[in-house]
Amino acid sequence: MHKAQLLVRCGVVSEVKQLGADGGFAQYGLTVEAPFSLLRYRRTSRVFQDLTVPDIIKQILAEHQANNAQFARVQTLDIQVGPASPRSYCLQYRESDYDFIVRLMHEEGYGWRFAHSEKDKLPQVQLILFDDPFGLPAASMERLRFHRSDATEEEDGLSAWESSRQIVSGNVALASFDYQPVTSNMTGDESQINQGQSGKALQSTLQDYAPQTLYYASDAEQFGHYAQLRQQAHDLQAKQFSGGGAVRGLLPGEWFRLDNHPNHDGDSSEQREFVVTKQRFIAHNNLPQGLKRLLQTATGKEQTEPAPYQTTFTAQRRGIPLTPAYAYTRHAKPTSLGSQTATVVGPAGEEVHTDQFGRIKVQFHWQRPEEHPGIGAAMDDKSSCWIRVVMPSAGAAWGHQFIPRIGQEVLVDFLEGDIDRPVVVGVLYNGSHA
């Protein structure tokens, strides 16, 4: 390996285990994570209105930073994404802050990485959101040689490198109904991966057609963008690279240039640039022999002589959109557990609050004021978006119409179980309305 250099890797010790002891000497295992990962331990339900995904993420992180000095010292946020459309209604329902934020990033096609640094001798981790694969930084070792792993080597390098390909859906089609213009919107996108003539022919009928819930996007451009993101997530799986070796200067979200690999000798320098998308590393202290014997006695395990540092990672060619998959993954939006009740709300002093579609606004019983500091939990017309109401019949200038009154309890269901698509299906008597 080349001359040693100091590399900063920061995190929070979230778990400690005693692995063994002999009465005087003990071995411990530490779990070190980014401070952001601790947001798994705050779970809640709340409503966000007319905010973009970056705005929602900023708000949640700012809440933790304002009320948790330790978290504020070690975790910061940097958002490097283009303009985003606001969501009129976005529900975090029985989700941890971590799972909710990760879900939103998947839905919007954002990648993210962590940058490690020291500020005033304190460790700091920055969560960076990005959507431009060419905007990622170069690794501290921008050029990596492919060669054997040997103690006589003068610089770090890769000793393992391979690629894999797989068939993916050749095109995506989305559909969504919008009840205001009363039309079914359709959009789609095609794979941009070159799989050769045979691969392209095979993919031609492999379509991912996914009907979405109502008014899935605010306009045709945004709808097409979501189709593109879905196809990019497929394309990301079509070809991947993996490598390993004694390389200390790599982090996920950074790129390097590969030299001296026979499979890439004919490639241009741009084609030999790769972004690390996932990484695992193992580091060992170079302990004196006396400490090694104590460690063996404490753990009952024979101490081998492993390499001081080894890493394995996956990678993509630089410039390929790093769009994460969300449909049918553990990051997909949670579905409703069933119907629930809410209270009809509106401006103070009014009995009925509705619009030209007979829609109303409600406040769910679980909406807490402390999590809705500006709007959302004051039992007024800012507690929700407009919500449609089911009627016995509805037609052009004919039908039934009964608008639930402010203060009444209503039964709310969710279209296709989508927590962001509530609909009022009935009114209930209760202790104040009987």
Q: Where are the domains of the chain?
A: 1-131, 137-324, 340-428
β-pair partners for 31: 15
Please say whether the beta carbons of 155 and 170 come within 8 A: no
Judge contact between 157 and 245, C-beta under 8 A. yes
Q: Which residue has the tokens 């929700």?
A: 384
Give the whole-number percent of the chain exceeding pLDDT 90.
68
User: What is the average pLDDT score of the chain?
Assistant: 90
The matching CATH number, chosen from 3.60.150.10, 3.40.50.2020, 3.55.50.10, 2.60.40.3500, for 1-131 is 3.55.50.10
Q: Mean per-residue pLDDT for 65-88? A: 95
Torsion of CA 84, 53, 105, 228, to 10 degrees: -30
Taking CA atoms, 400 is separated from 328, 358, 395, 396, 423, in Å, by 39, 11, 9, 11, 17
Average pLDDT of the residues in 71-77 = 94
Given a cut of 90, is residue 219 above it in pLDDT? no
Task: Give the distance from CA 349 to its chain's centroid.
Answer: 43
Closest CA to 235 of 186, 175, 166, 174: 166
So what's the pLDDT on residue 338?
Answer: 95
The pLDDT assigned to 6 comes to 74
Return the bridge partners of 29, or none.
17
Query: What confidence tens digit (pLDDT) does each residue in 119-148 have?
Result: 788 889 999 999 999 999 999 888 999 986
> What pLDDT shows up at residue 7?
78
What is the model's pLDDT at position 86? 94
Among 61-75, 184-198, 229-243, 412-426, the minimum mean pLDDT is found in 184-198
pLDDT digits (tens, 9 = 90+) for 11-32: 999 999 988 777 777 778 889 9
Other CB atoms within a 10 A radius of the CB of residue 384 amount to 23
pLDDT at residue 308 is higher than 60: yes
pLDDT tens digit string along 372-404? 987 878 999 999 999 999 999 999 889 998 999
Per-residue pLDDT tens over the stretch 233-270? 999 999 999 999 988 889 999 999 999 999 998 899 99
What's the token pair of residue 239? 């070809």
For the residues 324-351, what does the mean pLDDT come to?
92
CA-based R_g, the chain, Å: 27
Question: What residues pair up with 171 in beta bridges, in sequence order?
Answer: 190, 207
| Domain covering 340-428 in this structure, CATH number | 2.40.50.230
Compare 37 and 29 and report the one with higher pLDDT. Answer: 37
Q: Which of 64, 19, 58 is nearest to 37 (CA)?
A: 64
Residue with tokens 């001296």: 260
Give residue 74's pLDDT. Answer: 93
pLDDT given at position 259: 93
Q: What is the pLDDT of residue 154?
A: 64
Q: According to the model, what pLDDT value does residue 1 have?
A: 46
- The torsion region of residue 343 among left (phi > 0), alpha (psi -120 to 50) and beta comes to beta
- The single residue listed with the structure tokens 């304002």 is 66
Helix (H, G, I), strand (E, B) or coil at 244: strand
What is the bridge-based pairing of β-strands 207-211 and 239-246?
A: unpaired
Segment 271-289 mean pLDDT: 86
The separation between CA 244 and the C-alpha centre of its own chain, rounded to angstroms, equals 26
Q: Rounded to whole angstroms, how far apart are CA atoms 204 and 250?
A: 38
> Looking at the predicted structure, is the pLDDT value of residue 157 above 70?
yes
Percent of the chain with pLDDT over 70: 94
- The answer to whether 389 touches 403, Cβ cutoff 8 Å, is yes
- Which amino acid belongs to residue 161? W
State the CB neighbour count (10 A cutoff) for residue 372: 18
Q: Which of the two residues, 289 and 432, has the higher pLDDT score?
A: 432
Burial of 406 (0-12, 13-18, 19+ CB in 10 A): buried
pLDDT of residue 271: 94
